[in-house]
C-alpha cells in the first residue's frame, strides 16, 4: 500500500497546522476540513501539490480534492494531526433506539471474526461427535487437542473482541487487546478466587445482593465474576477506554504520549471496569435468578417460558451466570435440575431459524454463513448463529426467542429434568435419562420439545421474516456490450442527461475526477451500469464506486453536497464488496425529501480511471441507454 504520510504532513502544514483544524471528515474523493481560520490555509500551494487535485470552499468546509484513494490519505492526515479517526469519520448519525444501537454495535464488532467463530463451533461439534461415536475417549490426547482448538476461541473471546471493539470505537487496537486479556487473567476470575480460600467479607448477607468480596482496592470492594467467554463487559470497557484515550491525547505533551496515553487509558478504564461491571453483572444476575425462582414457586410453566425466552438475551449480556449456580447446586444436592433446563430448546430453535433463513435468502454471503452456523447449532454451539446472523437481522433473533419461550413453557409444564452436566445440543439428550429408574420418559419430553422448537423456529421465520435481498433478473437489453476495443456503460439513473460542465462542483465539471456525464434524476433509483464489484459504498450512501469486470472504475455521486445529509433519505440495496449485474438496483433515494432539504439532485457519473483508456465518449446525450462508450 502506498504511503501518504509525506503528503499528509504537507496538507496539514498548509491548511494552517493542526491547531487550525476543528474537525476533519472525508467523502468519496475529498478531505473536508472545518478550519478555525480559512485565511491561514494556502490555496495555491495546496492546488499545486503532487497528490492534490484541487481545493474548494463550500458549505463552511475547506475541501481538498484527492481522488479515490482519499481514505488512505485521510488516515495519515488523522495520524499527523492527531485527530481521532474513530470520532471524525462521516458516519451517518441517524437516531436509533438504544436496543438497535447495541445490536448494531455488537454485530459490527463480531463481523470480522465470524468465519473463525463458525470454524471453532464446528470443531466443538466434531469433537462431540467423535466422542459419541467412540472414535477416541474423553481425556485422551485427541480429545484434549480438539477441545483446545474448539474452546480457545470461546474461552478467550474477550481478547479477540477487545481488538475488534477497539477498531469499532477508534481506540488503539492493541489497547483493546490488552483490556480483553486482563479480563481473562486467571487471578481475577470469581471461580479462581472462590477456590483459593474464604472471602474477606460478604456484602448484603441474606439478600439477593449477597456478594462475597475476595479483593479490595483501597478498601473499595471488587466484586468479581467469570469474564472468560463474555461479550458485553469488554465492549463496555473498550468504549470507555476510547473516551479516556481521546481525553489524554489532548492534554499529554507529544513527547510523552507514546508511553503515557496507553498507560493511563488501561489503568483508568480497567479499574473502573472491574469495580463497576462486576457488581452490575452480579447484581443483575442475582435479580434475574431470584425473579425466576419466585415465578417458579407458583407456575413452573411461566418460569420455564421466561428461562427459555430470555436465555439467549441473558447470554448476550453475560447475565446468565446468575442461573448457572442454581443449576449446579440442584444437580449436586437433588441429583437433577429443572430450573435452568427450559433453555434446552433454545439452541434447536436458533438452528431452525438459521436453516429457514438459508432456504429463504437470496444473499449468497448469508447462505455461506448459515451453513456452518446451523451445523454448530445442532451441537449446541449457537454463538456463530446469534452474533453473526440473528442479531444483525434482529427479527430472526426475536423469533428464535419466542419459539424457545413456548418450548420452555412446555418443558416447565412437564417438569423436564437434567440429571448430569453433559453435552449440548443433540448430545444433551443422554443427560435426560433418569439414572435411578432408567426411564426414558423424561428424555422423550426433551426430544418432543426440541422437535417443536425447530418446527416453531422454522415456521415463524418462513412466515414472518422478509428477506431484503432483491433477486436480480438481468435481461439481454441491459448487459454491457464489448465489441473489440470498446465497452458500453449504461445509464445508472433514469432522467435528463447533461454534460458535466453543468455540474456546479468544479471537481466534476472540469473533469478533474474523470470524464463522464451528469443526470438530472426523474426516478429515485440507481442501477448498476456494468457487471462488476461494489468497490466503494460511502457510509452516508450518497456515492457508489463500481469496478467493472474489465476494470473500468465508475463513480456515481448522487446530488451535490448530499454527504451533509449523513445517510438520511438514502436506502442502499447492496454492500461494499458485492458482485452486481448491469441493471441491478443499487440504491434508492427520496427525491422530494432531498430537494426539500435544499440539495441539488444533479448526479455526476464519471470514469475515475479515464487515463487508462484512449477515450471516454459521451454517447448518453444522444442515446439515454448507452450512456458512455469506453475506447481502449
Are the C-beta atoms of 355 and 374 separated by less than 8 Å? yes
Are the C-beta atoms of 221 and 203 separated by less than 8 Å? yes
Nearest to 562 by CA among 518, 595, 516: 595
**Partner residues linked to 626 by β-bridges:** 490
Residue with cell 427450559: 342
Cell of 126: 466434531
Give 212's DSSP letter.
E
CA dihedral 52, 54, 55, 59 (to 10 degrees): -120
Q: Out of 27, 78, 370, 401, pick the active-site residue.
A: 27
What is the number of other CB atoms lying within 10 angstroms of the CB of residue 393?
20
CA–CA distance, 469 with 474 (Å, rounded to integer): 15
* Angle in degrees, 0-180, between the axes of helices 395-413 and 346-360, rounded to the nearest 10: 140
Give 631's DSSP letter.
E
CA–CA distance, 438 with 529 (Å, rounded to integer): 68
**27 flagged as catalytic:** yes
CA–CA distance, 441 with 447 (Å, rounded to integer): 10
CA–CA distance, 539 with 11 (Å, rounded to integer): 24
- Phi first, then psi, for residue 229 (nearest 5°) are 75, 0
Cell of 69: 484513494
Angle at 20 between CA 5 and CA 33, to 5 degrees: 65
Nearest to 177 by CA among 93, 223, 234: 234
CA–CA distance, 20 with 36 (Å, rounded to integer): 5
Query: For residue 414, what are the CA distances in angstroms to 23, 202, 217, 521?
Result: 62, 38, 48, 63
- Phi first, then psi, for residue 544 (nearest 5°) are -130, 130
502 class by beta-carbon count within 10 Å (0-12 exposed, 13-18 middle, 19+ buried): middle
Query: For residue 455, what are the CA distances in angstroms to 355, 399, 443, 585?
Result: 11, 12, 18, 35
CA–CA distance, 235 with 160 (Å, rounded to integer): 11
What is the number of other CB atoms lying within 10 angstroms of the CB of residue 192?
14
DSSP string covering 578-616, please? -EE-TT-EEEEE-HHHHHHTT----EEEEETTGGGSSEE
- Phi first, then psi, for residue 597 (nearest 5°) are -80, -5
Q: Which residues contact 148 (CB under 8 A, 6 or more apart)?
A: none
Residues known to be catalytic: 27
Amino acid at each position: 500500500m502506498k504511503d501518504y504520510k509525506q503528503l499528509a504532513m504537507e496538507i496539514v502544514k498548509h491548511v494552517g497546522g493542526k491547531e487550525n483544524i476543528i474537525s476533519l471528515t472525508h467523502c468519496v474523493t475529498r478531505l473536508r476540513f472545518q478550519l478555525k481560520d480559512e485565511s491561514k490555509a494556502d490555496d495555491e500551494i495546496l492546488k499545486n501539490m503532487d497528490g492534490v487535485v484541487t481545493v474548494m470552499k463550500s458549505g463552511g468546509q475547506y475541501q481538498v480534492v484527492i481522488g479515490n484513494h482519499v481514505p488512505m490519505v485521510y488516515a495519515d492526515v488523522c495520524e499527523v494531526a492527531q485527530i481521532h479517526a474513530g470520532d471524525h469519520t462521516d458516519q451517518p448519525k441517524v437516531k436509533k433506539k438504544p436496543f438497535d444501537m447495541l445490536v448494531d454495535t455488537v454485530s459490527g464488532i463480531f463481523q470480522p471474526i465470524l468465519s473463525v467463530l463458525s470454524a471453532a463451533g464446528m470443531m466443538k461439534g466434531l469433537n462431540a461427535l467423535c466422542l459419541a461415536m467412540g472414535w477416541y475417549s474423553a481425556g485422551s490426547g485427541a480429545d484434549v487437542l480438539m477441545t483446545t482448538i474448539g474452546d480457545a476461541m470461546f474461552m478467550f473471546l474477550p481478547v479477540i473482541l477487545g481488538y475488534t471493539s477497539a477498531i469499532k470505537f477508534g481506540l488503539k487496537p492493541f489497547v483493546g487487546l490488552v483490556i480483553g486479556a486482563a479480563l481473562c487473567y486467571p487471578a481475577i476470575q470469581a471461580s479462581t478466587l472462590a477456590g483459593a480460600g474464604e472471602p474477606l467479607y460478604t456484602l448484603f448477607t441474606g439478600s439477593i445482593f449477597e456478594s462475597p468480596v475476595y479483593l479490595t482496592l483501597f478498601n473499595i470492594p471488587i466484586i468479581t465474576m467469570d469474564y472468560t467467554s463474555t461479550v458485553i463487559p469488554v465492549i463496555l470497557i473498550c468504549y470507555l477506554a476510547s473516551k479516556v484515550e481521546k481525553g489524554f491525547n489532548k492534554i499529554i505533551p507529544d513527547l510523552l504520549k507514546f508511553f503515557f496515553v496507553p498507560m493511563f487509558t488501561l489503568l483508568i478504564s480497567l479499574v473502573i471496569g472491574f469495580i463497576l461491571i462486576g457488581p452490575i453483572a452480579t447484581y443483575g444476575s442475582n435479580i434475574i435468578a431470584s425473579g425466576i425462582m419466585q415465578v417458579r414457586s407458583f407456575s413452573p410453566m411461566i418460569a420455564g417460558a421466561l428461562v427459555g425466552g430470555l436465555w439467549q438475551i441473558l447470554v448476550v449480556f453475560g447475565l446468565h451466570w446468575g442461573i448457572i449456580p442454581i443449576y449446579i447446586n440442584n444437580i449436586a444436592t437433588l441429583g437433577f435440575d429443572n430450573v435452568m433446563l427450559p433453555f434446552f430448546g433454545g439452541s434447536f430453535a436458533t438452528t431452525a431459524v438459521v436453516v429457514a433463513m438459508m432456504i429463504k435468502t437470496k444473499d449468497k454471503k448469508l447462505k455461506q454463513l448459515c451453513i456452518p452456523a446451523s451445523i454448530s447449532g445442532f451441537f449446541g454451539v449457537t454463538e456463530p448463529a446469534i452474533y453473526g446472523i440473528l442479531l444483525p437481522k434482529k427479527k430472526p433473533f426475536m423469533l428464535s426467542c419466542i419459539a424457545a419461550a413456548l418450548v420452555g413453557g412446555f418443558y416447565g409444564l412437564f417438569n423436564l429434568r437434567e440429571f448430569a452436566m453433559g453435552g449440548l445440543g443433540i448430545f444433551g439428550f443422554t443427560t435426560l435419562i433418569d439414572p435411578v429408574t432408567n426411564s426414558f420418559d423424561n428424555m422423550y419430553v426433551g426430544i418432543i420439545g426440541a422437535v417443536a422448537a425447530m418446527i416453531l423456529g422454522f415456521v415463524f421465520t418462513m412466515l414472518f421474516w422478509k428477506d431484503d435481498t432483491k433477486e436480480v433478473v438481468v435481461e439481454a437489453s441491459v448487459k454491457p456490450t464489448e465489441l473489440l476495443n470498446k465497452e458500453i456503460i449504461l445509464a445508472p439513473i433514469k432522467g435528463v442527461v447533461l454534460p458535466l460542465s453543468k455540474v456546479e462542483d468544479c471537481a466534476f465539471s472540469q473533469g478533474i475526477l474523470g470524464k463522464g456525464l451528469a443526470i438530472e434524476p426523474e426516478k429515485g433509483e440507481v442501477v448498476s451500469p456494468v457487471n462488476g464489484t461494489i468497490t466503494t459504498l460511502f457510509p452516508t450512501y450518497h456515492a457508489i464506486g463500481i469496478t467493472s469486470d474489465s476494470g473500468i472504475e465508475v463513480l456515481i455521486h448522487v446530488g451535490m453536497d448530499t454527504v451533509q445529509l449523513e445517510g438520511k433519505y438514502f436506502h442502499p440495496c447492496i454492500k461494499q464488496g458485492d458482485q452486481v449485474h448491469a441493471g441491478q438496483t443499487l440504491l434508492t433515494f427520496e427525491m422530494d425529501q432531498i430537494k426539500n432539504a435544499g440539495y441539488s439532485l444533479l448526479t455526476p457519473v464519471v470514469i475515475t480511471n479515464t487515463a487508462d483508456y484512449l477515450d471516454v465518449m459521451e454517447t448518453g446525450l444522444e442515446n439515454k441507454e448507452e450512456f458512455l462508450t469506453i475506447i481502449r
